[in-house]
Structure 1
Amino acid sequence: MEIKDIHSFLVYYTRIKDRTRKLFEHIPTEKIEWTANKGKFTIGDIIRHLALTERLMYVENVCLKPSLYSGCGESYAKGYQNTINLYNELHLESVEILSQFTSEDLLKKCETPGGHKITIWKLLRAMVEHEIHHRGVLYTYLALLEIKTPPIFGLTSEEVIRKR
């Protein structure tokens, strides 16, 4: 899917972010720094990682600047509400910056942190894939905690089968 118009992309991307946000309501505040394995991202790390990579890596790169991403630990936001606020605030900053892009801007080349040249619209598409990947990790973490989560599109697999 080629991204040709930034405004329609931002509407789509905000819906993706909203589905991630729905999961936040199911995270017990005392589990924000829980992890499945020592040394791996905590739930809070994942949320901060999404916020910080979006704004400080992806958006910086598509603005033809180097990545400013330097981690996602509690030094960026400590506690449940501060972590959620960081996610929301940095997304708003990203949208404000990206909304200035023209169709011509989307066709320019930028450089990834790995030094690869890529068309801007393709890196924006990768940003969406990154969000979805980490949302899946959040679903897995919550399942390990035996926390019921909302179905992503309104029905569970079992409910879809029953409707046949």
Structure 2
Amino acid sequence: MEITNMENFLEYYGKIRQRTNRLIAVIPPKYMDWAYKPGKFTIADIIRHIAAMERYMFAENVLGKPCIYSGCGKELADGYDNVIHYFNEKHEESLTIFKRLSDEDLQRKCLTPGNAPITVWKWLRAMTEHEIHHRAQLYIYLNLLDVKTPPMFGLSSEEVIQNSQLK
């Protein structure tokens, strides 16, 4: 899907973030520092990572600037409330940048951290894929912890089956 209209993209991206926020809202604070094994991202690391990559890689790159991502550790935000605040604050900063982009800006090139040129609209699409990827990790983590998670699009698989009319 080619992104040709910034207003439409921002509306779409807002829906992506709403689904991520619904999932983050069910995370029990006691599990923020949990990881499935030592050395892997914790739940809080994943949330900080989504936020920091959005702001310090994707947003910087679409401005024509180099990536300034430096990780996703506790030094950015520690504790449930601080992590959620950081997540929302970096998103608002990123949106301020994205809202300044014109439809024409979507067609110009920017450089990825690997110095590969990419069309801005493709980089923004990659940003949404990045968030979705990490949201899926959060779903798996929470399922491993037996935390009830919200269905992605309003119905669970079981509810879709129950509502289906087999012919």
What TM-score, normalized to structure 1?
0.98
Which string of whole-angstrom CA distances, capped at 9 and with x for unpartnered residues, describes residues 19-46 of structure 1? 0011112111011110011100000000
Gaps in structure 1 of 5+ consecutive residues? none
| 2:44 maps to 1:47 | no
Residue 5 of structure 1 deviates from its aligned partner by 1.2
AA aligned opposite 1:115: N
Aligned to 1:84: 84
- 1:99-110 residue pairs with structure 2 within 5 A? 99-110=99-110
Q: Counterpart in 2 of 1:129?
A: 129
Residue 22 of structure 2 corresponds to 22
State how 1:1-164 maps to structure 2 within 5 Å: 1-164=1-164
AA matched with 1:27: I
Other structure's SS at 1:40 match: coil
| Distance (Å, rounded) in 1 between the aligned partners of 2:20 and 2:103 | 27
Instruction: Indicate the SS of the match to 2:34.
Output: coil
Residues 91-131 of structure 1, C-alpha deviations (whole Å, 9 max, x = no match): 11111111111111111111100111100000000000000
Q: Unpaired runs of 5+ in structure 2?
A: none
User: What secondary structure is seen at the aligned counterpart in 2 of 1:118?
Assistant: strand
Distance 1:66 1:107 in 2: 19
Paired with 2:147 and 2:30, the residues of 1 have a C-alpha distance of 13
CA RMSD of aligned residues (A): 0.6
SS of alignment partner, residue 75 of structure 1 = coil
Equivalenced residues, count: 164
1:104-160 CA deviation, whole Å, 9 max, x = no partner? 111111110011110000000000000000000000000000111010111110110
- Runs ≥4 in structure 1, deviation > 2 angstroms? none
Q: What is the deviation of 1:14?
A: 1.1
SS in 2 for 1:147: coil
TM-score by length of 2: 0.97
Identity of aligned residues (%): 55
Measure the CA separation in 2 of the matches of 1:141 and 1:133: 13
**What per-residue deviation string (whole Å, max 9, x for no partner) do you get for residues 41-68 of structure 1?**
0000000000000000000011110000
